Every structure is written in structure tokens, then in C-alpha cells.
Amino acid sequence: MTSHRLATTSALTALAPAVWGSTYLITTEFLPPDRPLLASMVRALPAGLILLLATRVLPRGIWWGRAVVLGILNIGAFFYFLFLAAYHLPGGVAALVMSIQPMIVLLLGSLLLKDKIKPIHVGSCVLAAVGVALLVLQPHAGLDGIGVLAGILGAMSMGCGIVLTKRWGRPEGVSLLTFTGWQLTVGGLALLPVMLATEPLPTHLSWANLGGFAYLSIIGALIAYVVWFNGLARLPALAASFLSFASPLCATVLGYFFLDQTLRPLQFVGAIAVIGAVVIAQPRSKTQDKTPAPAPVAERVTT
């Protein structure tokens, strides 16, 4: 893959985590309070059902189990922990905790994908973590045990999902929309009974609540995950994982414009460090002369 195509693919893929960075703003400003499971389920299930109805292809054979695992890791568990962290922590602190994800991908990739850990990768992880800390931590930032644990578990869930998605790919003959629909539906269905059993349904939803849910489902899930899985199929796992740092960058920018948050000089330094870490972690054409395999083929799935 040429340098231009690599840069284009990386830029397009980064749009997904940039959209996810708006989750913190939408959660705190538009959604009903203290409903992380409801927010997670509504974000995933409607989008998944739309894609399933549009494609009308179900998993077959071993892919039933794989779809369940990927759906829970990439969607169900990740969404829940993400929203739980967003409810318990300031958006910047939550993003900082989630920034351990590339380190998880780095370690798992060496075990499951046989990717070699290089000093430049370790350096990029450290640089990115420092950059996120400078970018999002405020002097008054508070820590909450539940929020921190949720952020760590969310990063682990997504990191495992990225590596397993690269390891398994998607079945021959299955479109990207179908593959995304499987995972969103599984994630939403996994969350539904837990939500009904543990969270009371809100007695009233405002138009702002409905708009927030619609944005998260259509933009933040359906469109963003199609873009994300498309990029993940074409980029190395670690390079794609580093693109998730677009999330705290976006969260910081949105906080500045819509929540009257200030930007200090150290935050600009942090933003530059994060961008530098992402650029360093991306593949180079001289080592990627051949287009990375978009997906290891398992078996053909037909309607």
C-alpha cells in the first residue's frame, strides 16, 4: 500500500474514534442521568437490527461463537464500561484511563498475531499516554474508583476485540455491513436483559434525550463502526489502536467549544504529543509494500 493510501486509510479510520470522543459530551448533556446500560443498549441494538434487516445474512458454523465473542468485546462490554466511566469520571479523565488500550493491543498482538514488539512501539505508547495526560487532566480533575475500573475494563475489552478481529478476520462472502451488524446486534442483545434487570426505565424522555440516543445509535454506532471495521481490516492492529487517541482529542475540543472549558499551553503540548505518537505508530510504505490482508478467510457464508 502506498504512503498516500496508508495516510488516507488512517485518516478515514480515525473518524470513528473522533465520533466516539463526542460520547462524553452527549452522555452528560443529552442523556438521562445514571442510565449507562440503557445508553449502551440503545446505541448498539437498533443500529445492529437495521444492518441485519438490510443484509439478511446470519452467521454460520464457527462464526456463531466468534460473532458472540466479538460482539461482546467490541460492543456490549465496551459500550457499558465506556458509559459507566463517562458517568463517574470527567470526560478527560475517562479518556486518559482508556488510553492504555494500545498497550494491551501491543502485548496481545505479540502473543496472538506474532507481531514483534519494537522499541518504537513502546515509545509511542509512552508518548501517547503522556500526551493524553497533558491534554485532558485538569487541576480539579476528580478520580472515582468505579469510573477508573470501568475505564480499564473498557480498554481491555476493546483491545482484545481489536486483536481477535485481526486474528479471525471475517468470513469469505460476508460484507462489511453484515459483519458490523452481527456485532452490534450481539452486543445490544447481551446488554438488554441486564439493563431490564438492573436499571429502571426512565418515565420521561425529552426531545434532547431522544436526539442524543439517535445520534449515538446512527452516527456513533452504525456509521462509525462500519468505518472502524473497514480500517481495521486494512491496518495493523497496533496502528489502528493508536487511532483511538482521536477520541480524547475530540473530547477536549468539544469541551472547549460547548462546555466552556479552557485550553492551557500544556494541553497544546499534549495534543502535539498525541498526534506525534499516532504518526509514529502508523505503518510506512517501505514496510507495507503489499496491502495488508484485509481479513483472514475462514469459510463462505451464504444466505
Closest CA to 277 of 148, 132, 152, 160: 132
Residues 286-301 pLDDT 10s: 444 344 444 455 544 4
Distance separating alpha carbons of residues 102 and 236, to the nearest angstrom: 12
Distance separating alpha carbons of residues 281 and 269, to the nearest angstrom: 18
Pair 168, 293: CB distance under 8 Å: no
Separation of first and last alpha carbons in the chain = 33
Greatest C-alpha distance within the chain: 58
- Cell numbers for 212: 442524543
Q: What is the pLDDT along the chain (303 residues), one digit of tens a residue?
A: 677 788 889 999 999 999 988 887 898 899 998 888 998 999 999 999 999 999 999 999 999 999 999 999 999 999 888 778 877 776 566 666 777 888 899 999 999 998 888 888 889 888 988 887 787 666 555 567 788 888 889 999 999 999 999 999 999 999 999 999 999 999 999 999 989 998 988 889 999 999 999 999 999 999 999 999 999 999 999 899 989 888 878 887 888 888 777 778 887 888 888 888 888 888 766 444 344 444 455 544 444
